[in-house]
Amino acid sequence: MKNAIKKVCSQLISATLTAGFLGLAAVSAAQAADPVKIGFLVKQAEEPWFQDEWRYAEQAAKEKGFTLVKIGVANGEKMMAAIDNLAAQKAQGFVICAPDVKLGMAVERAAKRNNLKVMSVDDQLVDGSGKPIASIPHMGISAYEIGKQVGQGLIEEMKSRGWNMTEVGAMRMAFDQLPTARERTQGAVDALKAAGFPVANIVDAAQAKTDTESAFNAANIALTKQTRFKRWVVFGMNDEAVLGTVRAAEGRGLRNDAVIGIGIGGSKTALNEFAKPSPTGFYGTVLISPKRHGYETSVNMYKWIAESKVPAALTLTTGVLMTRRNQADVRAEFGL
Ligand code: GLA
């Protein structure tokens, strides 16, 4: 009797295993039949940071042998159309930096409806109450820490120039509706405060969009109101924010000897500035890694689709202060 039960059991087990293997074989056969196609959607395709991200995503596509579909999604409408379009093209997933993080729930619903896997990059998507959507894997920069590095860099350069902090204005180019932007500039503010920079000298300017022109316009207004400072330190969410401010200051005769700007990014926007024959007020940038954000997110998405390997829920990347002087070394260190 015992033996009979044993036999039935072992038959059952082997039947289950066989079914399991057959199931797996069916899945991988389907995968072999459907070539992997991944979308990479970014809010500002013209910005060098996103161009770099795309370039590294392409590198991943070449290495892993999947098709990458790059789409610029400047607004919510374009974004929704792009997601539907990806599904129609038989993509299996996408990486996204959305035009507005508050579209998070709409992104998640569209992905589910179309049976697409989704992960976010750079700007973490939030739900209706402003909380990050934990079910969408995310890779972003460690915003607050990187902001602190900006603030510390500004303090050091003020010291090395022998500036008296009580006579210096600090321009915070703000885009507070975006959490990563708010955290970045908050980090810089806290570092300035911690080093004894007078809080009353910190001036806020709000940019309408996250590009150079919007920063230029906002800085012009702020500089017109604040003529009490002859020297400025400048920070913001990215290189474009700082560059726009530096250009506005130049328009008022405030040049490299009167302005210390430190951005975040380190792509072409910063490199072009460093390549000018004489230094401008754009003193430095905290270099972050478009390679990690473009290459790694794409590989993670590929592995999710092809190998059912779910990406880490949250990955935060670091940065290093880069100036004219150390740019070659720092970029090499970053593998760029
Ligand atoms: C945001 C900014 C970009 C860039 C990325 C980096 O998306 O808009 O300029 O700084 O973050 O993660």
**Tokens representing 69?**
């579909």
pTM: 0.90
Q: What's the whole-number mean pLDDT along residues 215-220?
A: 98
Mean residue pLDDT of the chain comes to 93
Please check whether residue 262 is in contact with residue 245, taking contact to mean a CB–CB distance below 8 angstroms: no
Tell me the percentage of the chain whose pLDDT exceeds 90: 89
Verify whether ligand 1 is closer than 6 Å to residue 158 (CB atom).
no
Verify whether ligand 1 is closer than 6 Å to residue 238 (CB atom).
yes
Which pLDDT tens digit goes with each residue over 37-91? 999 999 999 999 999 999 999 999 999 999 999 999 999 999 999 999 999 999 9
3-state secondary structure of 232: strand
Verify whether ligand 1 is closer than 6 Å to residue 53 (CB atom).
no
Query: What pLDDT was estimated at residue 21?
Result: 47
What is the C-alpha separation between 64 and 130, in angstroms, rounded?
Answer: 36
**Tokens representing 42?**
């970014």
Half-sphere exposure of 217 (CA within 13 A, CB side): 9
Q: Which of 49, 52, 139 to mutate to test the pocket of ligand 1 (most atoms within 8 A of CB)?
A: 49
Which pLDDT tens digit goes with each residue over 147-163? 999 999 999 999 999 99
Phi and psi for 47 in degrees, rounded to 5?
A: -75, 130
CA terminus-to-terminus distance, the chain: 70
Q: What's the whole-number mean pLDDT along residues 124-128?
A: 97
Closest approach atom of ligand 1 to CA 317: 12
Half-sphere exposure of 267 (CA within 13 A, CB side): 20
Verify whether ligand 1 is closer than 6 Å to residue 97 (CB atom).
yes
Please tell me the least confidently modeled range out of 5-9, 90-94, 116-120, 314-318: 5-9
Phi and psi for 259 in degrees, rounded to 5?
A: -135, 130
For residue 95, give the nearest of 267, 289, 294 by alpha carbon: 294
Please, what is the Cα angle at 38 between 34 and 40, to 5 degrees? 165
Q: How many angstroms is it from 181 CA to the middle of ligand 1?
A: 8
**DSSP letter (8 states) at residue 296:** I
Residue 13 has pLDDT above 70, yes or no: no
Query: What pLDDT was estimated at residue 336?
Result: 87
| Confidence band for 25, pLDDT divided at 50, 70 and 90 | very low
Verify whether ligand 1 is closer than 6 Å to residue 287 (CB atom).
no
Please check whether residue 188 is in contact with residue 235, taking contact to mean a CB–CB distance below 8 angstroms: yes
Q: Which of 126, 237, 315 to mutate to test the pocket of ligand 1 (most atoms within 8 A of CB)?
A: 237
Please check whether residue 210 is in contact with residue 238, taking contact to mean a CB–CB distance below 8 angstroms: yes
Sort strands 320-323 and 168-174 into parallel, antiparallel or unpaired. unpaired
H helices present in the chain, as ranges = 2-33, 48-64, 76-88, 104-113, 143-161, 179-194, 212-225, 239-250, 268-274, 290-291, 297-307, 327-333
Residue type, 260: I
Report in angstroms the alpha-carbon separations of 123 from 183, 201, 280, 289: 12, 30, 29, 14
Q: Cβ–Cβ contacts within 10 Å for residue 144, how many?
A: 17
Q: How many angstroms is it from 187 CA to the middle of ligand 1?
A: 16
Verify whether ligand 1 is closer than 6 Å to residue 183 (CB atom).
no
| Confidence band for 15, pLDDT divided at 50, 70 and 90 | very low
Verify whether ligand 1 is closer than 6 Å to residue 220 (CB atom).
no
What is the C-alpha separation between 114 and 116, in angstroms, rounded?
Answer: 5
Ligand 1, atom 3, residue with closest C-alpha:
238
| Confidence band for 206, pLDDT divided at 50, 70 and 90 | very high
**DSSP letter (8 states) at residue 195:** T
Q: How many angstroms is it from 1 CA to the middle of ligand 1?
A: 69
